[in-house]
């Protein structure tokens, strides 16, 4: 029976049949990194074949694509794709104690500790004109206002099954569909409407406190992203997501300032909603850093039934009139 000897663990593992190097390592309890779940969509499981390269299976198409991209020599292999027919020795490329602690799944609790690609709805919310506002008001007043607004908006996100993952000064990002994937786009849109309702309700106390209201814009996109956890303390993980879906959602939010809207969704998000959302205009716009034009649709209210124990989304007041720079397709 072939054996795989792992360095620096100095542990030998028997392998049978079609077992990959990665599966053998996991079965032996070794903390072998595999951020994409062993699907040849990353390079974190790669190993250096120290001995027995001739006993390793040939690279398949997926491994070849990654090896070509990273310009790996023949001795660097993806553990998730490599099988052995004889004795081999491999060196894991996760070597130091910090990396081992980070990738040892036996010591972690909760879902997707190292990353998982899945369909999610990504929501970006941002306060328009905040820089000018912050420059003309005392810093402690600005922080107080942000804390109150973001507290109320975060509660709306949580009520609709979402997770606020990142605060970015005058805005934040939230994910929907992490644990309950059905209806992710619906929950995101209804949360977006709730966020704008919070902004509307805040007008009175903002006028009294600082003499002006603040305008909130929301952008939502639905698509595939890599969702994972980043450990910020020894006992706490922060969920995050990366990928083009996240970048596009951010640009959709920013497009509100040129379309004169408050809540825009992408075509894929709109498709997920069916006919449950009341929509306004559709706009064909270019987005920074993206080729071509994108069709974005304004959502004004929710008319469908609630999905789950979440608060209803109220209709929105119309935003102040602004000049739209892009082609307007009309109302539905």
pLDDT digits (tens, 9 = 90+) for 257-266: 999 999 999 9
Residue 290 has a pLDDT of 87
pLDDT digits (tens, 9 = 90+) for 199-220: 998 888 877 776 777 889 999 9
SS3 call for 144: helix
Task: Provide the pLDDT for residue 330.
Answer: 46
How far apart CA 332 and CA 151 sit, in angstroms, is: 34
Nearest in space to 66 (alpha carbons), one of 88, 85, 42, 86: 42
Q: What is the largest CA-CA distance in the chain?
A: 78
CB 47 within 8 A of CB 91: yes
Give the chain's domains with CATH numbers. Answer: 3-107 (3.10.20.30), 116-331 (3.30.70.1230)
Note the pTM of the prediction, 2 decimals.
0.68
Q: Which residues in the chain come in under a pLDDT of 70?
A: 94-116, 210, 230-237, 305-332
* pLDDT tens-digit readout, 78-105: 999 999 999 999 998 765 555 545 544 4
Contact status, residue 121 vs residue 38, Cβ threshold 8 Å: no
pLDDT for 117: 76
């Amino acid at each position: 029976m072939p054996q795989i000897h792992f360095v620096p663990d100095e542990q030998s593992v028997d392998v049978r049949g079609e077992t990959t190097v990665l599966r053998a390592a996991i079965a032996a309890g070794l903390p072998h990194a595999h951020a994409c779940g062993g699907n040849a969509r990353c390079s974190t499981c790669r190993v250096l074949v120290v001995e027995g390269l001739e006993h390793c299976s040939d690279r398949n198409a997926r491994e070849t694509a990654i090896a070509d991209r990273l310009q790996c020599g023949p001795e660097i292999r993806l553990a998730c794709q490599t099988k052995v027919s004889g004795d081999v020795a491999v060196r894991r490329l996760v070597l130091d104690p910090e990396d081992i602690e980070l990738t040892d799944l036996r010591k972690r609790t909760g879902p997707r500790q190292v990353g998982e690609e899945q369909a999610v709805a990504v929501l970006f919310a941002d306060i328009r004109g905040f820089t000018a506002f912050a420059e003309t008001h005392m810093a402690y007043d600005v922080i107080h206002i942000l804390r109150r607004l973001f507290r109320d908006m975060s509660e709306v996100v949580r009520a609709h099954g979402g997770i606020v993952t990142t605060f970015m000064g005058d805005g934040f990002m939230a994910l929907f569909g992490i644990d309950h994937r059905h209806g992710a786009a619906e929950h995101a849109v209804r949360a977006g409407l709730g966020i704008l309702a919070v902004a509307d309700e805040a007008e009175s106390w903002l006028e009294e406190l600082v003499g002006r209201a603040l305008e909130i814009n929301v952008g939502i996109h639905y698509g595939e992203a890599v969702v994972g956890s980043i450990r910020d303390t020894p006992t706490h993980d922060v969920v995050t997501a990366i990928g083009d879906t996240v970048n596009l959602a951010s640009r959709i939010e920013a497009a509100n300032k040129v379309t004169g809207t408050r809540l825009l969704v992408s075509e894929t998000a709109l498709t997920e909603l069916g006919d449950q959302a009341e929509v306004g205009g559709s706009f064909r716009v270019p987005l920074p850093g993206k080729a071509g034009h994108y069709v974005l649709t304004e959502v004004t209210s929710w008319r469908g039934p609630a999905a789950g124990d979440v608060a209803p989304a109220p209709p929105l007041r119309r935003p102040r009139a602004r000049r739209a720079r892009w082609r307007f397709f009309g109302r539905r």
